Amino acid sequence: ETGVTQTPRHLVMGMTNKKSLKCEQHLGHNAMYWYKQSAKKPLELMFVYNFKEQTENNSVPSRFSPECPNSSHLFLHLHTLQPEDSALYLCASSQGVGASYEQYFGPGTRLTVT
Amino acid sequence: DAKTTQPNSMESNEEEPVHLPCNHSTISGTDYIHWYRQLPSQGPEYVIHGLTSNVNNRMASLAIAEDRKSSTLILHRATLRDAAVYYCILRGLNYGGATNKLIFGTGTLLAVQP
């Protein structure tokens, strides 16, 4: 499945590093999402972008900074993370944000903060 | 709060049908019923969704009770590849706010025996 791609697939970073996660969707969708999945916890929505505009920030700490330059690309900039931020970060996209639209997920970036 | 109730786990035999139940007694008239699944070490995958009528697609069928307070995801012939966590999610303004966000619960872990 190559509709939504994420890079890198794995990332190890120190607490003082700055890194970025990239997501690209090839489906012509207008909405994009960042989710976090920690071990043994349900997926948590972090951010929603619709037509490049951020429409939802789910009380995410400022050390996570999203960027959506166009409807096909979404970035998550990371800085001064904590070990508890280690998780699987998933990107998704959908045609719209209405309740009838399904979301398509990327494979995720496995992040380890040391 | 995902507002749905699913069994924690189920088992099936390969090539047999599987019926995954979901209760959603607080559903409102405009809420869609979405099903996603997550295979080990992968991002979630959209399966099917519906509003009132039963739905069929290449992956599964969705049977929705007449009062809409429960639904059943049907896999017609289980394969080993269908072993995953299956999430039943209500999507609508009552749960997801203006962006109708998906709120994942803990889902049903389906094991498929050869």
pLDDT in tens, chain A (114 residues): 579 999 999 999 999 999 999 999 999 999 999 999 998 788 999 999 999 999 989 899 999 999 999 999 999 999 999 999 999 999 999 999 888 999 999 999 999 999
Least Cα distance to A36 among A70, A17, A63, A72 occurs for A63
Predicted local distance difference test score (pLDDT) of residue B96: 66
Give yes or no for residue B1 having a pLDDT over 60: no
Least Cα distance to B22 among A20, A22, B32, A84 occurs for B32
Q: Quick one: how far is CA A39 from the chain centroid?
A: 17
Lowest mean pLDDT among B55-59, B69-73, B102-106: B102-106
Among chain B residues, the shortest Cα distance to A1 is held by B45
Among chain A residues, the shortest Cα distance to B94 is held by A99
Segment B66-90 mean pLDDT: 96
* Chain A 13-72, residues with CB within 8 Å of chain B CB atoms: 31, 33, 42-43, 45, 48, 50, 55-56, 58
C-beta atoms of A107 and B42 within 8 A: yes
Q: Where are the beta strands (DSSP E) in A1-114?
A: 4-7, 10-13, 18-25, 31-37, 44-50, 53-57, 64-70, 73-79, 87-94, 104-105, 109-113
C-beta atoms of B44 and A43 within 8 A: yes
C-beta atoms of A107 and B105 within 8 A: no
CB neighbourhood size of A82 (10 A): 10
For residue A58, what are the CA distances in angstroms to A11, A30, A45, A52?
23, 19, 7, 17
Segment B75-93 mean pLDDT: 93
Predicted local distance difference test score (pLDDT) of residue A74: 98
Pair B33, B16: CB distance under 8 Å: no
